[in-house]
Structure 1
């Protein structure tokens, strides 16, 4: 599988893939970490991370106003300055407004200290305007609705706005990104016009396969693509010893134990758990590509190497046999 045409760089249309095709066509860089997720990241380090992704063939970049309250978008834009815009595809999100310390919306294009939900049509348009300014670009390729917990409000305001933006050619594709399956599945079924993609965060992983029960079948039924994200479930599948976290909280002893057993099985065939975890979603029917968050160049190398790693079928069978939520 691979990113569908609307999510590929314009300059790649109709071109034969090069030697980096396994990375270019299936993996994107998640830019929440360079927005100071969990720990501060220096601007130079953020730029180096994006630069390493470009070196390794990554051409799809995923960000959002919520990531660092605008900092992630700002840093991604700075890192891509001077890069031919037609050679990369950028995804960002709407549905949240960046606010200052007093809870007031920041000036359009600014950064703040928090975000609040806004699923109105006007909120979508203002959010996109701010994202374009922070990114330093005149367009985004994919625009997601971010964490729409109030599905009715999304169906009334935000989602029609996204579809209109796509119909008008302002964005090339639209979707919904969220860590909860049911709201996204409902939006897939009830959208007046089909979404292009959905991005389940942390729900198509070695430890949590719950999207496979309802969301993914709903997406397949309407021809909606799936980009998997959150493949490490916040850390435990990247390194269960150094980052024993699951969904932004301390992982349970059972989750850590399962991840450690998976890591042992991967190590036995010379592969890091993080690389195998990044590859897993591509085995699932309907998943077209994977976005992996990275804070450093070394973390980029892990998932870039995973694109071409030889993962034995026996290992997949062993990991499938390990208990997992489903």
Structure 2
């Protein structure tokens, strides 16, 4: 099913910060932020077992347990199974290794087989406290795998997770499935398969103001031709576009800081907030179905919604284009 027909709003809520990403977020802060998102009309929530070893799912479940199930759209991910066993040694999550050091200490098993997919979904349903999921993403197939190893993991997912999710979709247990990754190659490979076919994909950090050229060359033309939708994760590029210091889960390098400075300068000249520029840019591509910024403070939710509805003059987009800060291939709002 088309993502456009499933997702409740053009803006959703990404719950990675709820898993204590970068810092230990107090429970009361989490509750206030999630309630603010709901009260302000957010009805699409994305989560994953990886986020704090199940912590984000548990916290989100606390909000959703009191809401009618038909009133919201929920997506989570497979590829990591969370065990009751506590991790005894150091945890290896590759480039995401330090992101959730303040999460739960439970052991995380990385596996995309059919059995692991079934167990992952069962665990997510239990932590979320719901009886069904709308969308399931196959998480991070190519994350931290180099050479041919990522292709081996892709094959594991193709013969395991892909087929299980296709069956669950056919049975009506889930409404859609796709890939949730921050690399374009596994999505391109999945779209080239004869079967099974994903309904869409969640692309994190690869269709933003700061990083979009690679996606525009191959992936997005393929997706548009096949009618496959995209959810844009990480629209603020790990926070650097929202006043933070991180890019790609690390401290932003000088060249990125300079690029952000130039974008901000043009934005200020045209009376545009950089958050609005980031969200509107990511949503302008015809493949984009929704964008899912995350937050840990109620005020941030209000900022995101205000940014979504901000009027941006066409001259701003033209200035970005003329400055070489966006690709000439990128569709811009209002046909700028």
Deviation of residue 3 (structure 1)?
A: 5.1
RMSD (Å) for aligned C-alpha atoms:
2.0
- Quote the residue 2:93 is aligned against: none
- Quote the residue 1:125 is aligned against: 118
Deviation of residue 182 (structure 1)?
A: 0.7
Alpha carbons 1:258, 1:323 under 8 Å: kept: no
Report the Cα distance in structure 1 between the residues aligned to 2:121 and 2:296, rounded to whole angstroms.
Answer: 25
- Quote the residue 1:261 is aligned against: 262
Is 1:52 matched up with 2:36? yes
Q: TM-score normalised to the size of structure 1? A: 0.87
Aligned residues: 301
Is 1:212 matched up with 2:212? no
Report the Cα distance in structure 2 between the residues aligned to 1:97 and 1:321, rounded to whole angstroms.
Answer: 47
Matches within 5 A, 1:47-196: 47-99=31-83, 100-102=86-88, 112-149=105-142, 150-190=153-193, 192-196=195-199
Structure 1 residue runs of 5 or longer lacking an equivalent are 9-24, 104-110
Matches within 5 A, 1:168-317: 168-190=171-193, 192-209=195-212, 210-239=214-243, 243-317=244-318
Cα deviation 1:215-261 (Å, max 9, x = unaligned):
1112122221111111111111111xxx2221011222111011012
Deviation of residue 141 (structure 1)?
A: 0.7
Report the Cα distance in structure 2 between the residues aligned to 1:121 and 1:204, rounded to whole angstroms.
Answer: 30
- Quote the residue 1:18 is aligned against: none
Cα deviation 1:247-295 (Å, max 9, x = unaligned):
0112221110110121122223333212221221111131121111111
Deviation of residue 119 (structure 1)?
A: 0.7
Alpha carbons 1:98, 1:112 under 8 Å: kept: no
Report the Cα distance in structure 2 between the residues aligned to 1:67 and 1:321, rounded to whole angstroms.
Answer: 39
